Chain A
Amino acid sequence: MMMKKDYLIWIAIKTGLLSGVIAIFLCLIGMVEVFSKRDVIEKIITLGDFILLATAVSAGVIAARATSNPEQQKQPLKNLIAGALAGITTGVVIAAFIGLSQQINLRSVFLSASPSLFDLLTFKGGTNWIWMYPAIGMAAGLLGTILFLLPEKFRQPITRAIFITFLLALFSGLFRVVMINQSDNIAKAGKYLFGQTGLTLSGAIIFFVAVVSISMFWSAESTNLQKGFARIPKKGQTGVRVVVFAILAYMVLMLPQVSGPFIAQVIVIVSLYALMGLGLNITLGFAGLLDLGFVAFFAVGAYTVGLLTSYGIFGLQHVSFWVAVPIAVLVSMMFGAFLGLPVLGVRGDYLAIATLGFGEIVRLLAGSDFLAPFFGGPQGIIGIQKPCLGTLGEFVRVDVPRICNGLEFAGPKEIYYLAVASAILIAFIALRLQRSRLGRAWMAIREDEDVAEALGINLIQTKLLAYMLGAAFAGLGGAIFTVLVGSIFATSMQLIVSINVVSLIIVGGMGSVPGVIVGAIALIGLPELLREVSEYRFLFYGAALIMMMLAKPEGLWPSQATLRELHHDDSGEDSEIASTKSSQAKA
């Protein structure tokens, strides 16, 4: 069936209008202006230009997709018309926006509609140049359509290359700094590829070409490679695995030395969130108990270590970190039971809000003047002794740190090892628990509490254990956090932390241990690395959460059950087909 022509035009214009509105939105929230100070490719295209262009290009892609009939062959002419039209419309909308801004003062409402934004948009030429927008828009729209029209074999490598090059450009400052600190040759290469604010032109071309060729090679040869690997004898396979593992381990060990404190710190924070995530993954992912006050256990771990090791006025015992950590974990566990007990009978969303209340109560009490004599109130606890491998000097007096004779975990570069090791250890424990009798009991409770009870599972015991172990993991995270920061303030125990933890385990894949790690990297690590555009961190965060739920609600790394389900959906159908066939044969 042929599509009507006016229908095609309408789709294209609608797409263009929408992307134009998005472009205006990006201008009005100030993103275009802020991003124009960063480059994607130095001296060629700024990040601001890039996101504006991206709207028009994606308008082209969407218009082309919407106007092609999936059952028929692609219709290049029609798609090209639609793509170009969508691009032009986007340009017209932006041009209209610029024109409007010359007439009325948008700034009286929108703070970001500043003169400098319009200088940028008009190339400092008033309205003289705005006719360029439809033209650029058309070019971008056509580009998008061409991308869409390319055969799969080329399209995938190219989109992948654009995406990866863009990511590298975003983090180029980071890579540059890291590489410049290495040997001369690496430093030279770093300067050649990465500029101050974005990729150099040569760097961009090199990366683009490299990704395209690797990706095309892989898609052509991956099956052969896998077969080749399978042909290696069993021993050889294990050997390859061991080597790969050793290389990975070496990289993990060397990373902070190479990368410097900033990246180490980011990884520490990711590990701490991973610890909390692994904890919540037990209560929520395994046992299905939605806890929105999870930060409370983190706080308990942090305060316990703080009170036990601080050399400030609130320090109680001046024990070493290594003594304090097991105590902190135990105290968190007890606290998990303490908060779990009252809500044993509460289910579903009521549980969520009750635990949210607990989290807030803990934060408010810890930061109040009422308990200030114990927890420092708003002033917090400062002067927390750093962990020390070796002998720790005697406690002299308040506010004087004890001397460490040996290796002191003073900054992120050292605490990195502590945090990563803890995260790996806890992930291992979580995996073991998941596969144990207890893990099955938790999942049974998650699936159907009543039936689980009727099968002989003691709900009180099992749920309490979930709360306690979850709390223990989070408490360990809190303990490490304390020594990283060197102080504790109740204000760092905000509700937002709990919300982040819930989000990361769902984005990672609920009930999946590797998913927690992936979720922590995606939701905590990436935004931390993008500190430079920090104003828009949470905007991206929010958008990413929504898009993730729309596109991939099972998470980035779904649990095995979900994978099995996907796998078995086919085989299940097969078996049903088989059974119907056999019954037909009987008939």
Chain B
Amino acid sequence: MRTSLGEKILDLAVSGFLWGFRILIVLIVVLGTFLTIRAGKYTGEQWIDFLVFGISQGSIYALIALGYTMVYGILRMINFAHGEIFMSGAFGGYFIATWLTVIGFMDKYPVLGLIASMLFGMLISTLIALLVERIAYRPLRGAPRLVPLISAIGASFFLQYTFRGFFGPGVYAYPSMKALEGQWNFFGIGILKVQIVVAIAAFIMMAILYSIVMFTKIGKAMRAVSENKDVAALMGIDVNRIIVTTFALGAAMAGAAGVLYALTYRQVNFFTGFTPGIKAFTAAVLGGIGNIPGAMVGGLVLGIVESVGPALFLDSLGIPRPYQLKDAIAYIMLVMILLFRPSGILGERVSKKA
């Protein structure tokens, strides 16, 4: 073999580095967890609080991630403007919720009011998503991969600053809903009502979406298009219509997520969509992009790790304010998953081909 010494060293360095990196992370996780649990700084109740918050947050991520994953599955494009679609849903929900609160409807029928807000948020974000698809994405189908990505980035900026123009740079405080204040007690453990409601609503939405995709004719067509557009078109499926439907469904989920997110954090402004958008995309990749159950699992895992991780892994390692690093934990987990299992948790092994 004519390989030079340098090359051999390089090869060794590569594999050594990879293994070193993996081992280091595993070590931190195991050691941190061990020390934290031994130290017993947090009570069981606090752990459950973390967990419930993680699930509620994660279910929102999951809802947003569905839009990323469905669009990716069909068009192989990262819909970078999806975070803004989410934000527009939160704004739509805000105006209805405020109005319903002012006229007193919200206090009388909180469930109906919540549903109305969500529906309106979904409507707004669906409309915006369809506009974006028509103007910024449809003419670019079949263009090289990066072209629609840049167009999507452009759409993202445009939407953000359109909303800033409409509603100003300030933060809008969501109206407080009496029905969602306070806690519910389960076996002596108090859990915030908002979190439970958010998680339940998110799971219902996911179930609806999943049944649409799995059990309806249009869902079947969507799956066919994501397998192979050309063949699906030959089978008489109107591919254009399916793509539009996919955008609409994804946007509706994001709109619902927007309202739920705003309920949790009680505020919305034009920049609200950015970080959750990136996080949800991370979740989609985590679960295996293009894979619908993957997005749900990815979202939940991300939410839980973000919420539990800082306390569990880092606190006892002497790291001050571990909560500052919750996003870093999320991204490190993402990188780890991509290294160990490049296709995500539930994905097929496609990343090597893509």
* Chain A interfacial positions (CB closer than 8 Å to B): 25, 28-31, 109-112, 290, 341-350, 352-354, 356-358, 360-361, 364-365, 367-370, 372, 458, 460-461, 464, 495, 499, 502-503, 506-507, 510, 535-539, 541-546, 548-550, 553
Q: List 28 A-B contacts (CB under 8 A).
A: A29-B161, A110-B167, A111-B168, A341-B13, A342-B17, A343-B335, A344-B14, A349-B354, A352-B78, A353-B281, A353-B282, A353-B334, A354-B334, A358-B335, A361-B328, A361-B331, A361-B332, A364-B328, A370-B321, A460-B14, A503-B150, A539-B165, A541-B157, A542-B155, A542-B159, A543-B158, A545-B154, A553-B144
Q: Does B139 contact A (CB under 8 A)?
A: yes
Task: Identify which of A109, A343, A358 contacts B95 (C-beta below 8 A).
Answer: A109
Given A350-B351, A542-B156, A495 contacting B135 (CB threshold 8 A): no
CB B63 to nearest CB in A, in angstroms, measures 19
Q: Which residues in A have their C-beta under 8 angstroms from that of B26?
A: none
Given A549-B140, A553-B140, A369 contacting B154 (CB threshold 8 A): no
Given contacts A29-B164, A341-B18, could you give 17 more A-B pairs where the C-beta distance is less than 8 Å? A25-B162, A112-B168, A342-B17, A342-B335, A357-B332, A357-B335, A360-B328, A361-B332, A361-B335, A365-B328, A370-B319, A544-B154, A545-B151, A549-B136, A549-B150, A550-B136, A553-B143
Residue of A nearest to B165 (CB): A29
Task: Identify which of A357, A369, A458 contacts B321 (C-beta below 8 A).
Answer: A369
Q: Does B11 contact A (CB under 8 A)?
A: yes
CB contact list, B115-153 vs A, under 8 A = 135-136, 139-140, 143-148, 150-151, 153
CB A509 to nearest CB in B, in angstroms, measures 12
Q: Does B320 contact A (CB under 8 A)?
A: yes
Main secondary structure of the interface of A (DSSP, over half): helix
Task: Identify which of B143, B148, B321, B342 contacts A346 (C-beta below 8 A).
Answer: B342
Given A347-B354, A358-B335, A370-B321, A506 contacting B146 (CB threshold 8 A): yes
> In the complex, A111→B334 CA distance in Å?
40
Given A357-B332, A460-B14, A539-B157, A31 contacting B325 (CB threshold 8 A): no
Task: Identify which of A350, A368, A458, A543 contacts B354 (C-beta below 8 A).
Answer: A350
Given A290-B146, A350-B354, A539-B157, A364 contacting B324 (CB threshold 8 A): yes
Q: Which residues in A have their C-beta under 8 angstroms from that of B167?
A: 110-111
CB B289 to nearest CB in A, in angstroms, measures 7
CB B165 to nearest CB in A, in angstroms, measures 3
Task: Identify which of A354, A507, A549 contacts B148 (C-beta below 8 A).
Answer: A549
Q: Are A538 and B160 in contact (CB under 8 A)?
A: yes
Task: Identify which of B7, B143, B153 contacts A545 (C-beta below 8 A).
Answer: B153
Q: Are A369 and B324 in contact (CB under 8 A)?
A: yes
> In the complex, A353→B147 CA distance in Å?
17
Given A111-B168, A368-B321, A461 contacting B281 (CB threshold 8 A): no
Q: Which residues in B have their C-beta under 8 angstroms from that of A460?
A: 10-11, 14
Residue of A nearest to B314 (CB): A370
> In the complex, A536→B160 CA distance in Å?
11
Task: Identify which of B18, B72, B150, B278 contacts A502 (C-beta below 8 A).
Answer: B150
> In the complex, A343→B278 CA distance in Å?
19
Q: Does B217 contact A (CB under 8 A)?
A: no
CB contact list, B334-354 vs A, under 8 A = 334-335, 338-339, 342, 351-354
Q: Does B225 contact A (CB under 8 A)?
A: no
Q: Are A341 and B14 in contact (CB under 8 A)?
A: yes
Task: Identify which of B140, B150, B334 contacts A506 (C-beta below 8 A).
Answer: B150
Q: Are A536 and B338 in contact (CB under 8 A)?
A: no
Q: Does B21 contact A (CB under 8 A)?
A: yes
The 5 closest A-B pairs by CB, nearest first: A29-B165, A545-B154, A542-B157, A542-B158, A357-B331
Q: Are A546 and B136 in contact (CB under 8 A)?
A: yes
> In the complex, A239→B212 CA distance in Å?
73
Q: Does B186 contact A (CB under 8 A)?
A: no
Task: Identify which of A342, A495, A502, A535 contacts B339 (C-beta below 8 A).
Answer: A342
Q: Are A28 and B151 in contact (CB under 8 A)?
A: no
CB B222 to nearest CB in A, in angstroms, measures 20
- Proximity string of chain B (156-194) to chain A, C-beta cutoff 8 Å, 1 when within and 0 when not: 111111101111100000000000000000000000000
Q: Are A348 and B354 in contact (CB under 8 A)?
A: yes
Residue of A nearest to B13 (CB): A341
Q: Are B158 and A546 in contact (CB under 8 A)?
A: yes
Q: Are A550 and B18 in contact (CB under 8 A)?
A: no
> In the complex, A535→B164 CA distance in Å?
9
Task: Identify which of A28, A369, A464 contacts B166 (C-beta below 8 A).
Answer: A28
Q: Does B49 contact A (CB under 8 A)?
A: no
> In the complex, A78→B247 CA distance in Å?
39
> In the complex, A461→B162 CA distance in Å?
45
Q: Does B285 contact A (CB under 8 A)?
A: yes
Task: Identify which of B7, B159, B285 contacts A353 (C-beta below 8 A).
Answer: B285
Given A31-B165, A111-B166, A541 contacting B334 (CB threshold 8 A): no
> In the complex, A87→B188 CA distance in Å?
69
Q: Which residues in A have their C-beta under 8 angstroms from that of B107?
A: none
Given A546-B136, A553-B147, A350 contacting B278 (CB threshold 8 A): no
CB A5 to nearest CB in B, in angstroms, measures 29
> In the complex, A546→B161 CA distance in Å?
14
Residue of A nearest to B163 (CB): A29
Task: Identify which of B147, B150, B161 contacts A536 (C-beta below 8 A).
Answer: B161
Q: Are B285 and A350 in contact (CB under 8 A)?
A: yes
> In the complex, A538→B162 CA distance in Å?
9
CB B89 to nearest CB in A, in angstroms, measures 16
Most buried by B among A370, A458, A542: A542
Q: Which residues in A have their C-beta under 8 angstroms from that of B72?
A: 349
> In the complex, A464→B324 CA distance in Å?
31
Q: Which residues in B have their C-beta under 8 angstroms from that of A369?
A: 320-321, 324
CB B323 to nearest CB in A, in angstroms, measures 10
Q: Are B334 and A347 in contact (CB under 8 A)?
A: no
Q: Are A341 and B17 in contact (CB under 8 A)?
A: yes
Q: Are A368 and B325 in contact (CB under 8 A)?
A: yes
> In the complex, A350→B278 CA distance in Å?
14
Q: Are A365 and B325 in contact (CB under 8 A)?
A: yes
Residue of A nearest to B168 (CB): A111
CB B90 to nearest CB in A, in angstroms, measures 15
Given A348-B354, A549-B140, A499 contacting B153 (CB threshold 8 A): yes
Q: Which residues in B have their C-beta under 8 angstroms from that of A354?
A: 334-335, 338
Q: Which residues in A have their C-beta under 8 angstroms from that of B327?
A: 360, 364
- Proximity string of chain B (35-75) to chain A, C-beta cutoff 8 Å, 1 when within and 0 when not: 00000000000000000000000000000000000001000
Q: Are B320 and A112 in contact (CB under 8 A)?
A: no
Q: Are A503 and B153 in contact (CB under 8 A)?
A: yes
CB B51 to nearest CB in A, in angstroms, measures 23
> In the complex, A342→B351 CA distance in Å?
14
> In the complex, A510→B160 CA distance in Å?
26
> In the complex, A539→B342 CA distance in Å?
36
> In the complex, A550→B352 CA distance in Å?
30
Task: Identify which of A109, A349, A542 contacts B161 (C-beta below 8 A).
Answer: A542
Residue of B nearest to A344 (CB): B14
Q: Which residues in B have their C-beta under 8 angstroms from that of A549?
A: 136, 140, 143, 147-148, 150-151, 154
> In the complex, A341→B10 CA distance in Å?
10
Q: Are A110 and B136 in contact (CB under 8 A)?
A: no
Q: Which residues in B have their C-beta under 8 angstroms from that of A356?
A: 278, 331
- Proximity string of chain B (5-22) to chain A, C-beta cutoff 8 Å, 1 when within and 0 when not: 001001101100110010
> In the complex, A366→B294 CA distance in Å?
32
Q: Are B342 and A345 in contact (CB under 8 A)?
A: yes
Q: Which residues in A have their C-beta under 8 angstroms from that of B11?
A: 460
Q: Are B156 and A360 in contact (CB under 8 A)?
A: no
Q: Are B151 and A550 in contact (CB under 8 A)?
A: yes
Q: Which residues in A have their C-beta under 8 angstroms from that of B161?
A: 29, 535-539, 542
> In the complex, A539→B160 CA distance in Å?
8
Residue of A nearest to B275 (CB): A495
Given A369-B320, A506-B146, A545 contacting B157 (CB threshold 8 A): yes
Q: Are B150 and A507 in contact (CB under 8 A)?
A: yes
CB A23 to nearest CB in B, in angstroms, measures 14
Q: Are A495 and B278 in contact (CB under 8 A)?
A: yes
> In the complex, A5→B144 CA distance in Å?
41
CB contact list, B224-271 vs A, under 8 A = none
